[in-house]
Chains A and B, each alone.
Chain A
Amino acid sequence: MKKATESRNFIASLDSLEPMRDFVSQKGSEAGLNKKQIYGLCLAVDEISTNIILYGYQSSGITDGVISIKINFENDIFVVILEDKATPFNPLEARTPDENELGLPLEERKIGGLGIMMAKESVDEFRYEFKDGKNLNIFSVKALDN
């Protein structure tokens, strides 16, 4: 698969997480991404969608929210865009654990921000935009010549 555009809508519910990951896995695999890259994208999609479902839509009082996943593969760059109409929230501005905190014994660890940190670490690039009333969380990875 040299070039492709795909898009699918999911109900903003935790039950959608697995089908969302399956969709991204399938398209990633068709684009020739390796296992680690696919896992990383699934992790980013899962973590950020969880936040959108549990906090974004809930705090805006929307009960029938939708998350759209758009996939674009061109020039060896595989891009996954999560689109939602929940409360504007830029995860890249959220506080995540720093080096010192990650080194703390598990007994003393606080868990906040871990998901966002994991999402950032799992993809080559993570961007956020707020456009036309929509949150766009954009993850990209470069397909390697395998």
Chain B
Amino acid sequence: MDVRIKMEESLIVVIVEGSIDSNTSGELQTKIMGKISESNNVILDLSKVDFISSAGLRVLLMVYRQIKVKNGKVVLVGISEEIKDVMTMTGFINYFEMTETIEEANKLF
């Protein structure tokens, strides 16, 4: 898994590549949490994520909770059909806005 974080005005963009499983989720969580206090809104680009387990969902949940208390928004970008299925199955799908591209996500702020 590879994580890149870009800070923009009142917005952080997190670009993840690879798999988010219980081996990699800790690193993702640490990286995002280190930056999240600087922002009210998060764009999570998951278009290059091929696999996400419950450990990955746990990170999404944590990000959502942090941002929610600040009345901010979390937008997920480019999630695959399979990951969408997992999010539907677990009810997570209802809490995130989703777009196909980063450009579309930017328009939501």
B-binding residues in A (CB < 8 A): 14-15, 17-18, 21, 35-36, 39, 42-43, 46-47, 50, 54, 102-107, 109, 111, 114-115, 117-118, 121-122
Please classify the interface of chain A as helix (H, G, I), strand (E, B), loop, or mixed, using the class held by over half of its residues: helix
Tell me, yes or no, whether B58 is within 8 Å of chain A by CB: yes
Chain A neighbourhood of B85, CB < 8 A = 36, 39
Please classify the interface of chain B as helix (H, G, I), strand (E, B), loop, or mixed, using the class held by over half of its residues: helix
A-binding residues in B (CB < 8 A): 19, 21-23, 51, 53-55, 57-58, 61, 64-65, 68, 81-82, 85-86, 89-92, 95
Which of chain B's residues has its CB closest to A20's CB? B21
A-B contact count, CB below 8 Å? 71
Within 8 Å by CB of B58, from A21, A43, A107, A111, lies A111
Within the complex, what minimum Cβ distance (angstroms) separates A55 from chain B?
11
Asked if residues B53 and A106 are in contact (CB atoms below 8 Å), the reply is: no
Chain A neighbourhood of B22, CB < 8 A = 14, 17, 46, 50, 54
Please report the C-alpha to C-alpha distance between residue A118 and residue B52 in the assembled complex, in whole angstroms: 11
Asked if residues A15 and B65 are in contact (CB atoms below 8 Å), the reply is: no
A–B complex contacts, Cβ < 8 Å, 14 sampled: A18-B19, A18-B21, A21-B21, A39-B51, A43-B53, A46-B22, A46-B51, A50-B55, A103-B91, A105-B95, A106-B68, A111-B61, A117-B89, A118-B86
Contacts A36-B82, A114-B54 known; A15 to B23 CB distance under 8 Å? yes
